[in-house]
Structure 1
Amino acid sequence: MSLEKQLAERSGSLCELCNGTENLSVYAVPPTDQQSVDNSVLICQTCLDQIEKREQLEAAHWRVLSDTMWSTYPAVQVMAWRMLSRLRHEGWAADNLDILYLEDEVLDWAKKTGDHEQDGTVQFHEDSNGTRLYDGDTVVLIKTLDVKGSTLSAKLGTVVKNIRLVADNTEQIEGKVEGQTIVILTKYLRKG
């Protein structure tokens, strides 16, 4: 029997964190070298996107952890603890963390990634209007920019196609202007 079928049978074909029924997939709880029933959970796409910080954490979505945190499966307990920790600024999440008991080895597993030490907010690349940017987007400069180390001047209104997001800095993107790849501050552009 496949891992996904085993987890679906274990969970009743529900997301093990929010009880959702759509777009379910197997998630190996980090850190892990190999997926197994013991170190994986069946979760929905909404949970996955928020766990992996591709979307902002929505506290209302996670309120069901008050029930699902009592799972008898350690992988589910670990994920519930981590998400409650990220939401600890919410009163209900802090209360649940106070009453959630985990065996020592399960708690050690939950603390291994350090993700629980961060709050629930996620920083995304946004243009000057607060619109979220993605790799491959087209943007327009809202200010004439002189490019450091070059005689190039990127004029107001210049269209920059197929941008790349700078991974470690949400205030910067990379794009080609007149055939030259430059770094542009997101506050000087708007989505095209």
Structure 2
Amino acid sequence: MTCPLCLTENTPLIETPVPGGPDGASVEICATCADPDTPSDHFRPMASTMWSEDPALQVLAARILTRLDTDWARDLSEQLYLDDDNRAWADNVPQGSEHKDSNGVPLATGDTVVLIKDLNVKGAGFTAKRGTAVHKISLVLDNPAHIEGRVEGQRIVILTEFVKKR
């Protein structure tokens, strides 16, 4: 499948909620786009994809462009037109959301967690087994229920309810 943000083809897509707007609003994007540490040049194709008719995709694009600290991203952000409702949604980034494991322990980028359940990894064709340690996690932008980490050499998104901090 093709990522609607970066236009990368033949990549597994991850359903990513876009909080602050309609309940259940989400966009399917690649793991690279979901990673808050992705280099800004990865998002250059948004010059065309930010004009999507999907409001959730427009809002996510606006938030990413605002977060990036480059001239080209600022230019695109100024060009992007959002109606009043979608502009309010884009500006309504939930504050103070904290990533917590299944026991309520706060998680931070770089932590090590352990899976507490076997997890089928969609698009990668394997199961991440219970007890697997995931080192150097990263927190998913705008979603305290998701973290990312490498399992069997693949970078995957993991729900925080299925991990405990080591």
Alignment of 1:6-155 (within 5 A): 13-20=1-8, 21-31=10-20, 34-35=23-24, 39-50=25-36, 56-87=37-68, 89-113=69-93, 133-135=110-112
C-alpha distance in structure 1 between counterparts of 2:89 and 2:22, whole Å? 14
- Matched with 2:149 is none
C-alpha distance in structure 2 between counterparts of 1:98 and 1:61, whole Å? 19
Identity of aligned pairs, percent? Answer: 36
Q: Is the 8 A contact 2:21 2:89 kept in 1?
A: no
C-alpha distance in structure 2 between counterparts of 1:80 and 1:94, whole Å? 12
C-alpha distance in structure 2 between counterparts of 1:107 and 1:57, whole Å? 24
Q: Greater CA radius of gyration, 1 or 2?
A: 1
TM-superposed deviation, 1:93: 0.5
Q: 1 or 2, which has the higher helix percentage? A: 1
Q: Is the 8 A contact 2:19 2:94 kept in 1?
A: no
C-alpha distance in structure 1 between counterparts of 2:35 and 2:3, whole Å? 13
TM-superposed deviation, 1:92: 0.5
The superposition leaves residues 88-118 of structure 1 with CA deviations (integer Å, 9 ceiling, x where unpaired) of x301011111111100000000111167xxx
What is the TM-score of this pair, normalised by structure 2?
Answer: 0.54
TM-superposed deviation, 1:33: 7.4
TM-superposed deviation, 1:19: 1.4
The superposition leaves residues 151-186 of structure 1 with CA deviations (integer Å, 9 ceiling, x where unpaired) of xxxxxxxxxxxx9x9xxxxxxxxxxxxxxxxxxxxx
C-alpha distance in structure 2 between counterparts of 1:104 and 1:81, whole Å? 13
Gaps of 5+ in 1: 1-12, 51-55, 116-123, 126-132, 137-162, 166-192
C-alpha distance in structure 2 between counterparts of 1:108 and 1:82, whole Å? 11
Q: Larger deviation: 92-101 or 19-28? A: 19-28
Q: Is the 8 A contact 1:14 1:42 kept in 2?
A: no
C-alpha distance in structure 1 between counterparts of 2:53 and 2:23, whole Å? 21
Which amino acid in structure 2 is aligned with residue 43 of structure 1? I
- Matched with 1:156 is none
